[in-house]
Amino acid sequence: MASKPFLLVAGARPNFMKVAPIAREFRKRKIHHQLLNTGQHHDPALSDVFLRDLGLGKPDYNLGVGSGTHAQTTARVLKRAEPILQKLKPRGVIVVGDVNSTLAMALTATKLHIPVAHVEAGLRSRDRSMPEETNRILTDMISDMLLTPTADADMNLRKEGIPASRIVRVGNVMIDSLVAALRRFPADSEHGNPDFLLMTFHRPSNVDSRDGLVRLIAFLKKAAQLLPVQLPLHPRSCVQLRKHRLWKSITSIPHLHIFKPLGYFDFVNQMRHATAVVTDSGGIQEETSWLGIPCLIMRTSTERPVCIDHGTAELMSGNYDLALSRIHVILEGRWKKPKPIPLWDGRAADRIVRALASRF
């Protein structure tokens, strides 16, 4: 009889970079596993290209939940995942990150008494207005194993009453994918050439209101006067720009190059050559810190303070004028240098799989 599989869960673009190294490690150790894609990011630019680039192949299951409100996507995952888990009876369900799919799959498995492991556990922004913060907290509360990237994540969990026996610090599995991606590029190809700024924006606080978009466009216009700006445009941002009739305003900015979201390898290649990155993303803070690329976080809080304390990131608190002044500092060569972050070494997946095989 075949052994029960581990079930790896992904639902949105950032999840694929986290599950890919774990899947590779499972294959290396010949441990039975399957992949479930909830389909929360149903746009091919946000899912199919990443599955291809990261070598994940076609998922064993695709729930196809698509977009919708937080309640709608969560409910669809709960409803569509339950019969699959009842039939499969996996050895354990492995969820990653903090999207709605993460919480929904953890909740579905817990209700069926199936063990749950949460990769990237313990991150906290202290900002409950972010839906991701709610997802993180609730997923950690119900997971059997909490696989953390940093010491401060361990501390957050302990302060919330999680026993040490459920916490395993494994490092940052995103760095595993980054290290693997960098092997594809010529060794003599250096990053950090002072020729462009790379920017990404998709969070509601930056793109969901007309006023927010007007401020963003004004910032892009000023930034592009300092250096050319590369802007891979998230589908959400594109929809909002058209909705508020600001498409012409942004596309007419000189030296601003707008294009569709990139595949993983293409984006890493862009990022490593950028003079600096301006973003409201979470994972990009980690990747730029490891690469040594200055990163301006266009948010009021971050769940990754280690990237500020040890990395190259700085929090702009939504202040575009501050971001412009910090770009000047970067261009003057006065940006801080990163410090090594423990266990961000490209071997997190090995530690994750060893912990899973031992516990479950």
Domain of 239, in residue numbers: 197-331
Query: Are residues 87 and 224 located together in one domain of the fold?
Result: no
Pick the closest to residue 300 from 194, 212, 195 (CA basis). 212
Q: How far apart are CA 204 and CA 261, in angstroms?
A: 18
**278 and 353 co-located in one domain:** no
134 with 238, same domain?
no
Burial letters 293-307, b for 16+ CB under 10 A, else e: bbbbbbbebbbbbbb
pLDDT tens, the chain, 360 aa long:
468 999 999 988 889 999 999 999 999 999 999 999 998 765 555 566 667 777 788 899 999 998 889 999 999 999 999 999 999 999 999 999 999 999 999 999 999 999 999 999 999 999 998 999 999 999 999 999 999 999 999 999 999 999 999 999 999 999 999 999 999 887 655 544 559 999 999 998 899 999 999 999 999 999 999 999 999 998 889 999 999 999 999 999 999 999 998 989 999 999 999 999 999 999 999 999 999 999 999 999 999 999 999 999 999 998 999 999 999 999 999 999 999 999 999 999 999 999 999 999
Shared domain check, 304 and 211: yes
Query: Do both 226 and 155 map to the same domain?
Result: no
Tell me which DSSP letter residue 166 carries: G
- Strand residues in 229-298 grouped as ranges (E): 229-232, 256-259, 276-279, 295-297
Residues 163 and 209 in one domain: no
Q: In terms of domains, do 298 and 354 share one? A: no
Residue of 41, 42, 118, 202 marked catalytic: 202
Residue 122 identity: G
Same domain, 96 and 238: no
* The predicted structure's pLDDT at residue 1: 47
State the pLDDT at residue 174.
Answer: 96
Cβ-contact 275, 192 below 8 angstroms: yes
Considering the domain architecture, whether residues 143 and 259 belong to the same structural domain is answered as no
pLDDT at 186: 73
State residue 46's pLDDT score.
52
Give the per-residue pLDDT at 112. 98
- Which pLDDT belongs to residue 192? 45
Phi and psi angles of residue 232, each rounded to the nearest 5 degrees, phi first: -70, 120
Q: For position 40, what pLDDT does the model report?
A: 74
Supply the pLDDT for residue 189: 53
Reading the block at residue 227, the tokens are: 């250096």
pLDDT of residue 235: 87
Q: Is 255 a catalytic residue?
A: no
Residue 231 region by backbone torsions, left for phi larger than 0, else alpha for psi between -120 and 50, else beta: beta
Q: What are phi and psi of 23, to 5 degrees?
A: -60, -40
Predicted local distance difference test score (pLDDT) of residue 263: 87
Rounded to a whole number of angstroms, the distance between the first and last alpha carbons of the chain is 18
User: What are 256's two structure tokens?
Assistant: 């601003």
- The CATH number for 232's domain is 3.40.50.2000
**Do 160 and 112 lie in a common domain?**
yes
Coil, strand, or helix at residue 12? coil
Q: What is the pTM of this model?
A: 0.93
Q: How many domains does the chain have?
A: 2
